[in-house]
């Protein structure tokens, strides 16, 4: 006879095992995500996808398809990474993406047996799922950076029961977002390297690159009604720092603040040195989130430990102006072109920064209505 307490004990053991398995999966995903976020160039990103990811999850293969309609991705593909073993699993074009999009209806991950892909074009199927996985199972992840589809990541196992449609996709959806943002970040970093628009003192992009990115994001915001905000950041009393401590110390302060700004924004956001002691940030978020980021930056800069030649701490602070882009706003009503809209947004943030200066500095301010 079965003891009355046996079944609950078994159920509890199964629940504990499920929780532990999910925790292990989450930790593994985080390890791969950190590798992708930290990828310093195109080759390092591909290593994360084609070497590290299959190793961590014991996959039979991994394939990446990129949409060549995206100029930055096209530049990546044209420049290459110099390693044939990595580029062997990299595909691009239009037809493959159309086929994969039918699998991922509504841009959702697809899971199932490779044998179920009978309606997929043979050339596409063979590209991502080779003979080793013909009897196995697979995952297809759409890589969406905000509203833009960059491509698809195809992961295959030789175990036909490993991936199926009944599995939860929360971790997969989060991973695909991180992978897409990391890909976009690498693409922009390679673009910076290619066009020489990096500020040598701070390591941030410079004004030329920021203006180009701002115009691009304005067009994207107009097409997809996507949120976007701009910060204009000015170091308080910077001339006094240079006059009192010398330009070498001033350069140290600029470098420290540049690093600080980069640490306070998300992957995919843009921070640039705009000139002198001025910085700008382009954030893919609504106004309340932008205000929170600005306040976080203000606090972080105030806490920086920058020392002068005698080892004394220099007091640093910034005044920050915040403006949010709204497609049909009164402020933008007279600006028809992306360039004019971009200038209007930047001017609004600049005016808000001067308002912060007039209110006493070391604060965040909105443009006056």
Supply the residues annotated as catalytic. 277
CA 352 and chain centroid, separation: 27
Is 210:191 a contact under the CB 8 Å cutoff?
no
Structure tokens at 265: 């924004």
202 vs 271: CA distance, rounded Å: 11
Is 290:283 a contact under the CB 8 Å cutoff?
yes
101 vs 95: CA distance, rounded Å: 10
Which residues, other chains included, contact 314 with Cβ-Cβ below 8 Å and sequence gap of 6+?
241, 245, 249, 253, 306, 307, 308
Alpha helix segments (H runs only) across 38-70: 42-47, 53-57
Backbone angles phi, psi at 77, to 5 degrees: -65, -40
């Amino acid at each position: 006879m079965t003891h009355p307490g046996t079944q609950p004990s078994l159920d509890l053991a199964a629940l504990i095992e499920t929780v532990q398995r999910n925790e292990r999966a989450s930790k593994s995903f985080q390890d791969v995500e950190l590798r992708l976020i930290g990828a310093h160039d195109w080759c390092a990103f591909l290593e994360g996808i084609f070497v590290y990811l299959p190793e961590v999850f014991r996959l039979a293969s991994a394939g990446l398809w990129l949409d060549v309609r995206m100029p930055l991705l096209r530049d990546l593909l044209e420049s290459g990474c110099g390693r044939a073993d990595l580029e062997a699993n990299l595909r691009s074009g239009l037809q493959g993406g159309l086929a994969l999009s039918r699998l991922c209806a509504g841009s959702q991950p697809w899971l199932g047996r490779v044998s179920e892909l009978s309606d997929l074009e043979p050339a596409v199927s063979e590209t991502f799922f080779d003979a080793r996985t013909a009897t196995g199972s697979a995952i297809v992840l759409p890589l969406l950076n905000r509203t833009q589809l960059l491509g698809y990541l195809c992961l295959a196992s030789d175990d036909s029961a490993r991936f199926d449609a009944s599995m939860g996709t929360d971790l997969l959806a989060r991973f695909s977002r991180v992978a897409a943002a990391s890909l976009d970040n690498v693409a922009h970093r390679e673009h910076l390297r290619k066009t020489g628009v990096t500020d040598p003192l701070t390591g941030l992009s410079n004004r030329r690159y920021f203006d180009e990115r701002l115009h691009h994001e304005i067009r994207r915001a107009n097409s997809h009604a996507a949120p976007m905000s701009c910060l204009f950041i000015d170091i308080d009393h910077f001339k006094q720092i240079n006059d009192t401590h010398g330009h070498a110390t001033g350069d140290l302060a600029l470098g420290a603040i540049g690093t600080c700004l980069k640490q306070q924004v998300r992957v995919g956001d843009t921070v640039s040195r705009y000139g002198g002691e001025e910085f700008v940030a382009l954030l893919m978020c609504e106004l309340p989130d932008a205000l929170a980021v600005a306040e976080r930056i203000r606090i972080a800069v105030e806490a920086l430990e920058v020392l002068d030649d005698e080892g004394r701490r220099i007091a640093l602070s910034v005044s920050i102006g915040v403006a949010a882009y709204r497609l049909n706003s009164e402020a933008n009503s007279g600006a028809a072109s992306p360039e004019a809209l971009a200038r209007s947004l930047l001017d609004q943030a600049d005016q808000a920064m001067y308002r912060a200066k007039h209110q006493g500095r070391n604060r965040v301010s909105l443009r006056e209505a």
